[in-house]
Amino acid sequence: MLPEKEYTEVVKNTPLISIDLVITDADGKILLGYRLNKPAQHTWFVPGGVIRKNESFLEAFTRICEAELGFAINFSEATYVGLYEHMYPTNFANDPNFGTHYVVNAFSVNIKQKAMELPKAQHSEYWWATKEELLAHKDVHTNTKNYFNGFKPFSNY
């Protein structure tokens, strides 16, 4: 990982490539975490993370699953949802002069058994929500809702 000063420059000047995980259980409920950090702080969001420099896509997928969920998911069990862009006016460094731009590869994964204890590094709590619940809840971030409301970011191109 880059030192904070260098990473701040990256976030300020380039888009970040990331992976979001749309995790569903056997009942069709979707896993959301209440975010502790910016951007999207204090909102419900699907798990995910940034791909690091010189990290292969598969390595990043495995690392993000383990960091966000506490367990690995076999990439062959994931279904590609689509490519999205998330743009935020804020950033992790709390610098008011720039926002954060993500190019997000979203994947859905159905898990058979829920983890008993999920990591608390980036989320203060977790919620297994139905599609209807998350679409109706005011604190579920729009970027997460877009995975479920038919939003197709590049359908006009």
d(CA 146, CA 56): 27
Q: Is residue 134 part of a domain?
A: yes
The CATH number that applies at residue 79 is 3.90.79.10
CB 4 within 8 A of CB 10: no
Number of domains within the chain: 1
Q: Give the pLDDT confidence of 87-127 residue by residue, as tens digits.
A: 999 999 999 999 999 999 999 999 987 766 888 888 899 99
**Phi, psi dihedrals of residue 115, rounded to the nearest 5°:** -70, 145
Q: Is residue 132 part of a domain?
A: yes
CB 49 within 8 A of CB 19: yes
Q: Is residue 154 part of a domain?
A: no
Q: Give the pLDDT confidence of 37-92 residue by residue, as tens digits.
A: 999 999 999 999 999 999 999 999 999 999 999 888 999 999 999 999 999 999 99
Q: Is residue 151 part of a domain?
A: no
Q: Is residue 145 part of a domain?
A: no
State which amino acid sits at residue 26.
A
